[in-house]
Structures are given as C-alpha cells and as structure tokens.
Amino acid sequence: RTVYVNGAYLPESEASVSIFDRGFLMADAIYEVTSVLDGRLVDFDAHMTRLARSARELDMAPPPGRDELLAIHRELVRRNGIDEGLVYLQVTRGAPGDRDFAYPDPGLAPTVVLFTQAKPGLADDPVARRGIRVISLDDLRWKRRDIKTVQLLYPSMAKMAARRAGADDAWLVEDGFVTEGTSNNVYIVSNGRIITRPLSCEILHGITRRSVLRCAAEAGMAVEERAFTLAEAKAAQEAFLTSASAFVIPVVAVDGVVLGDGRPGPVAARLRDICLEEAR
C-alpha cells in the first residue's frame, strides 16, 4: 500500500513519524475518515470543513487546504486502486524535540498522515441485512466529543466490552440518555418518528448524520432532534446508527432486548438505500 506522510508518497513499510510526535505522546491529533464508493470520495468537503473546525477548537495551525488535501486523497485512491473503502487522514500538532504538556511553538510543522483501507462490499454489507446487537455502557469520554480527536481508548474499550458480551457495538449513556455509539451517531424510531440527539459538545457532528437527516426530510419522514433514554431505545420499533464507514446500519437488539421482530426495520433499510444512492 502507498501512504502519504508530510509531503511524500511512500510504501507503508518506509513511512515513519517521530517518537516525539504529540499525536503519539499526547493524542494531540485530529482525524477524518472519508468513504470511497465507486472510486469516488463521499462528502469530501464536509469532512474537510469539520477537520478545519477541529483544528480551530484546539488552537492547532490550520491543516493543509481543501484543494491540496483533495489532490492527496485522490492520488492515494488512484495509486491503491480503491473502488470501495476509505481514506484515513490524521493531522497532529507536530513533533517538538521533547515531551512537554505546553503546546510547542506555533511555528512547528504539523504531521500529516493519510492512508487508504480497501473495503470490498462496503455498499452491499451483509451486516446491513441482518442488523447488529448493542450493549449499553456509561459514557466515560471527555466532554468535547464534537472535536474529532484520536483519543479513542475508551471507545476501543467499549467495543471490546461489547464483543465480550456477544454483541457488536456499545451505545454510550450519560445521565440516562444515549449519546452515541463507539464510532457512530445513533437513532431510534418511535411512533413512526426518527429520534436522534441534537448537536452539542456531547456528540460528534456526524457528516453521515447530516446527509441522512436531509434525505429523511426530503423523503417526508418525520425527524425529532432530541435526546432519548436507554429505556426508550429498548421500547423502540427500530433503531439504527450512521457513520462514514458504515453508512446506515440497523440495530436489532439493545442490552439483549430485541427490537420489533428482531429484523432490520423499514426506516433504516429505506434510509440506507437513499443514502447510498445519494452518495453515488
């Protein structure tokens, strides 16, 4: 695989980053994951706009511009022959010579890394046809989840706890209300209405969430942006999640409580179809 590091396209075995990089030492880094369908980037501009916002929120230097990043994304997709998959982009505050809690000089060059992951069958995912099972866990992440940083240890722990419990993912709960999945935004369908948590610092402002809510509105589906409780989720007709790498995935059980008839619901299936159609 060819990857990109600080201006150079390299075989992955030759790519390296300093051990003093603040991304490595402090998780002082932001990222984006853009999916690729039919060799084309999905919602590219929205991802780069969010990247620039993450940088601003952390007082990081502005990341490379949209046109430069687009050229790099396209070049990696081309060189690696990606038809279906994703491009991962990470920007760190850079690598000063020492470890220090204080930010280094603003003049320090950021570290910019991109790589691709092929995911054949991304659009025609069998998981979308059977749905996933989730467990609930306390949301122990920090309170600025709107910034897309690489502090992903708790989400990883939550994912592993879900696996150990025989489930696929975890829904995180704060004060009785569901915030997000480990790496996705979450929704329930109740009385025929799609319910999802409103945007705030408590959740990532998902790019897929935005597209899906727009598609739902265009299709005349009722959407309610409000927080919902775990109890509501367990009593819902159906549930689903969204992310760039998963699009729309139905959820068929929460903490072992089966939703509806235990099969993916019609709202999730329809939104997945519309969303994929739109992305192409």
Judged by beta carbon, residue 111 or residue 243, the one nearer ligand PDD is 243
- List Cβ neighbours of 248 (8 Å cut-off, separation of 6 or more): 128, 208, 212, 240, 241, 242, 268, 271, 272, 275
DSSP 22-37: HHHHH--EEEEEEEEE
> Whole-angstrom Cα distance, residue 72 to residue 66?
10
Judged by beta carbon, residue 5 or residue 33, the one nearer ligand PDD is 33
> Whole-angstrom Cα distance, residue 31 to residue 60?
13
User: How close are the terminal C-alpha atoms of the chain, in Å?
Assistant: 25
Residues 96-135 as x/- pattern, contact with ligand PDD by CB under 6 A: ----------------------------------------
Which one of the spans 1-9, 194-202, 229-237, 240-248 is the region binding ligand PDD (CB under 6 A)?
240-248
Phi, psi (rounded to 5 degrees) for 7: 95, -10
Which one of the spans 111-119, 179-187, 221-229, 250-258 is the region binding ligand PDD (CB under 6 A)?
179-187
Residue from 77, 87, 112, 244 in contact with ligand PDD (CB under 6 A): 244
185 scored as a contact of ligand PDD (CB under 6 A): yes
DSSP 109-125: PPEEEEEEEE-TTSTT-
| Residue in the structure block whose two tokens are 């000089």 | 105
Question: Which helix or strand (DSSP H or E) is residue 56 part of?
Answer: helix 44-57
Question: How many residues contact ligand PDD, by CB under 6 A?
Answer: 14
Judged by beta carbon, residue 111 or residue 183, the one nearer ligand PDD is 183
Residue from 159, 184, 188, 202 in contact with ligand PDD (CB under 6 A): 184
Report how far Cα 46 is from the mean position of its chain's Cα atoms. 13
Query: Cβ 245 to ligand PDD, closest distance in Å?
Result: 4
242 scored as a contact of ligand PDD (CB under 6 A): yes
Identify whether the C-beta of residue 209 lies closer than 8 Å to the C-beta of residue 185: yes
136 scored as a contact of ligand PDD (CB under 6 A): no
Site for ligand PDD in 17-36 (CB under 6 A): 33
Residue 74: how many other CB atoms lie within 10 Å: 16
Judged by beta carbon, residue 167 or residue 170, the one nearer ligand PDD is 170
Indicate if 159 belongs to the active site: no
Query: Cβ 242 to ligand PDD, closest distance in Å?
Result: 6
Residue positions annotated with a catalytic role: 148
Query: Which residues here bind ligand PDD, judged by CB under 6 A?
Result: 33, 180, 183-185, 204, 206-209, 242-245
